[in-house]
Structure 1
Amino acid sequence: MLLDTPICNFGWKAPDFTLGDPEGRAFTMSEYLGEKGLLVAFLCNHCPYVQAIADRLAEDANTLLDEGIGVLAVMSNDYHAVPIDRPAYMQRFAAEAGWRFPYLVDEHQTVGQAWGAVCTPDFFGLNADGGLQYRGRLDNARLDASADRTRELVDAMRQIARTGQGPKQQMPSMGCSIKWRNSGF
Structure 2
Amino acid sequence: MAAIPPVCDFGWPAVDATLPGVDGKSHALFDMAGPNGLVVAFICNHCPYVKSVIGRIVRDANDLKTEGIGFVAINSNDADAYPEDSFDKMKLFATTHQFPFPYLQDEDQSVARAYGAACTPDFFGFNGELTLQYRGRLDASRKEADMPGLRRDLYEAMKHVARTGNGPVDQIASIGCSIKWKESA
TM-score of the two chains, using structure 2 as the length reference? 0.95
Instruction: Map residues 117-128 of structure 1 onto 2, 5 A cutoff.
Output: 117-128=117-128
**Alignment-derived partner of residue 36 in structure 1:** 36
Distance 1:22 1:96 in 2: 12
Report Cα offsets for 1:58-95 as digits up to 9, x if no partner. 11111012332100000000111100000111111122
Q: Aligned equivalents of 2:142 and 2:14: distance in 1?
A: 26
CA contact (8 A) 2:50 2:143 kept: no
| Equivalent position of 1:61 in the other structure | 61
- Secondary structure at the aligned position of 1:12 is classed as coil
CA contact (8 A) 1:33 1:70 kept: yes
- Cα distance between partner residues in 1 of 2:113 and 2:9: 16
- Name 1:147's counterpart in structure 2: 148
Letter in 2 for 1:126: F
Say whether residues 1:176 and 2:174 are aligned partners: no
Residue deviations 1:90-134, cap 9 Å, x none?
111122222211000001110000110000000000011110000
Unaligned runs of 5+ residues in structure 1 are none
Unaligned runs of 5+ in 2: none
Distance 2:42 2:107 in 1: 13
Report the more deviating stretch, 79-88 or 138-147.
138-147
How far apart, CA to CA, are the structure 2 residues paired with 1:67 and 1:88?
A: 32
Q: How many residues align?
A: 184
User: Hey, what's the Cα distance between the residues in 2 that align with 1:85 and 1:66?
Assistant: 30
State the TM-score, normalizing by the size of structure 1: 0.95
Identify the residue that residue 48 of structure 1 maps to in structure 2.
48
Partner of 2:105: 105
Cα offset, 1:148, TM superposition: 2.3
Task: Report the CA distance between 1:24 and its aligned residue.
Answer: 3.1
* In structure 1, C-alpha distance between the alignment counterparts of 2:23 and 2:151, rounded to whole Å: 35
Note if contact 1:122-1:174 (Cα within 8 Å) is conserved in structure 2: yes
SS of corresponding position for 1:154:
helix
SS of match in other structure, 1:108? coil
- Following TM superposition, by how much is the alpha carbon of 1:23 offset from its aligned partner in structure 2, in angstroms? 4.1
Q: Distance in 1 between matches of 2:153 and 2:69?
A: 15
Residue in structure 2 matched with residue 91 of structure 1 by the alignment: 91
* Contact 1:141 1:150 (C-alpha < 8 Å) held by counterparts: no
Q: Give the root-mean-square deviation of aligned CA atoms.
A: 1.4
